[in-house]
Amino acid sequence: MDDVNPKAMLAEYRASIDNIDAALIHMLAERFRCTKAVGVLKATHGLPPADPAREQTQIERLRRLADDAQLDPDFAEKFLNFIIREVIRHHEAIAASNGTENSTASRGGQQTT
Question: Do 44 and 106 touch, CB atoms closer than 8 A?
Answer: no
pLDDT in tens, 46-93: 999 999 999 999 999 999 999 999 999 999 999 999 999 999 999 999
Whether residue 30 is contained in a domain is answered as yes
Range of the domain at 92: 6-106
112 domain residue, yes or no: no
Using 50, 70 and 90 to split pLDDT, how confident is the model at 109? very low
Count other Cβ atoms within 10 Å, centred on residue 43: 23
End-to-end CA separation in angstroms for the chain: 57
Residue 8 sits at φ, ψ, to 5 deg, of -70, -40
CATH code, domain carrying 70: 1.20.59.10
Tell me if 105 sits within 8 A of 36, measured CB to CB: yes
Q: Does the residue 111 lie in any domain?
A: no
In a domain, 1, yes or no: no
Report yes or no on 18 lying in a domain: yes
pLDDT at 113 over 70: no
Q: Cα–Cα distance between 37 and 93 in angstroms, integer?
A: 13
pLDDT confidence bin for 2, thresholds 50/70/90: confident
Residue 50 lies in a domain: yes
Q: What is the number of other CB atoms lying within 10 angstroms of the CB of residue 53?
A: 8
Residue 113 lies in a domain: no
**Number of domains, the chain:** 1
Q: Is residue 60 assigned to a domain?
A: yes
The answer, yes or no, to whether residue 35 has pLDDT greater than 90, is yes
DSSP 49: S
